[in-house]
Amino acid sequence: MRATDYVIDVAGVTKRFGAKTVVDSVGLQVRRGEIYGFLGPNGSGKTTFIRMLCGLLTPDGGAGTCLGYDVLTQQAEIKRHVGYMTQKFSYYEDLSIRENLDFIARIYAVPDRAAAVQQSLERLGLANRSHQLAGQLSGGWKQRLALAACLIHSPQLLLLDEPTAGVDPKARREFWDEIHRLAHEGLTVLITTHYMDEAERCHRLAYLAYGKLLARGTLEEVLHSVALNTWTVTGPDLRTLADNLRGRPGIEQVVAFGNILHVSGRDAAQLEATIGALRDPRHEWRRIASGLEDVFISLMETAKDNFA
């Protein structure tokens, strides 16, 4: 693929705050029209990385481009063509939905502002609520307003930082339907999330833990690269069994999913040996394909905390 086909193409991006390296030599390439999921625990550097991409922070190291503009020297140009949705609702709660969108359109000097605002209201289903104060909106409607504001200047790239945190499942699904429509129209999206079902709706994924990029690729490639082995077990007194399993050779994690335990580890032979030593006729064991949540937790637990 040609370099020009990448909307984001950076390598070695590093950011330090004092003695702490918050983002440590991260490289990322995102294709045009792609929904790229950015995963990782709280404090892993995801937000800092996004802020460097959109020109709000200057990297201390590394190089590359965002929308063809240099991330070190052309930050003002990047800002004009990016829509950035922050974790926290950041619009004016004492202004109406329409007034908020009109204000953002003024900042970006959007031509034919009134028509652009109306089109944005209609696209996101906000037209009937356009005169409602932003402070009176529920989480789901605030999310729609924030997305509308990000799109008002027709950006080429959306950077979405945990946009669905705190909204109900229906609002989350509607949000993702809209994101896929936008990607189909050619918009590129980099989105951080902690929801595994959302991560599975992305075209490709990257996993960042404590500033370091640990895995990236399609869902299948990420699952394969971690090489995690997982067994399920059902039966009585699973709490006692879980306590007996934890800390034994080959056991990396023991997680309850309702009436089932997931038991995982990377060393398949050692994991099976430990399971074999604790087998009980009352319990049914079955090997399964590791899910993204199993892999997510495994990566998190094996990563080195850069603030420890």
SS (H, E, C) 235-254: CCCHHHHHHHHCCCCCCCEE
Phi, psi of 279 (to 5 degrees): -60, 145
CA 266 to chain centre: 25
Specify whether the CB–CB gap between 185 and 21 falls below 8 A. Answer: no
Per-residue tokens: 154? 């027709």
Q: How confident is the model at residue 307 (pLDDT cuts 50, 70, 90)?
A: low
Q: Which CATH number, 1.10.8, 3.10.150, 3.30.70, 3.40.50, labels domain 229-289?
A: 3.30.70
- Output the CA angle 284-287-291, nearest 5 degrees: 120
d(CA 260, CA 278): 16
Token reading at 248: 């034994």
Number of neighbouring beta carbons within 10 Å of residue 266: 15
pLDDT at 253: 92
**Tell me, what amino acid is at 276?**
G
The CA distance from 71 to 159, in Å, is 15
Rounded to whole angstroms, the Cα distance separating 10 from 188 reads 15
Q: What is the pLDDT of residue 2?
A: 46
The number of beta carbons lying within 10 Å of the beta carbon of residue 280 is: 12
Assign 212 a pLDDT band (cuts: 50, 70, 90). Answer: very high
In the predicted model, what is the mean pLDDT of the chain?
A: 91
Mean pLDDT, range 28-43, rounded to an integer: 93
* pLDDT per position as a tens digit, 122-162: 999 999 999 999 999 988 899 999 999 999 999 999 999 99
Backbone angles phi, psi at 86, to 5 degrees: -80, 165
| pLDDT > 70 in the chain, percent | 97
Strand-strand pairing, 188-192 and 157-161: parallel
The CATH fold assigned to 3-223 is: Rossmann fold (3.40.50)
Bridge partners (DSSP) of residue 29 are 9
Provide the residue ranges of all domains of the chain, joining segments of one domain with +.
Answer: 3-223, 229-289
pLDDT band of 90, cuts 50, 70, 90 = confident
54 residue type, one letter: C
Q: How far apart are CA 189 and CA 15, in angstroms?
A: 22
Residue 72 pLDDT level (bands cut at 50, 70, 90): very high
* Amino acid 299: pLDDT: 86
Give the mean pLDDT of 170-195.
Answer: 92
Q: What is the pLDDT of residue 139?
A: 86
pLDDT in tens, 250-290: 999 999 988 999 999 999 999 999 999 999 899 999 999 99
Residue of higher predicted confidence among 268 and 40: 268
What pLDDT was estimated at residue 34? 96
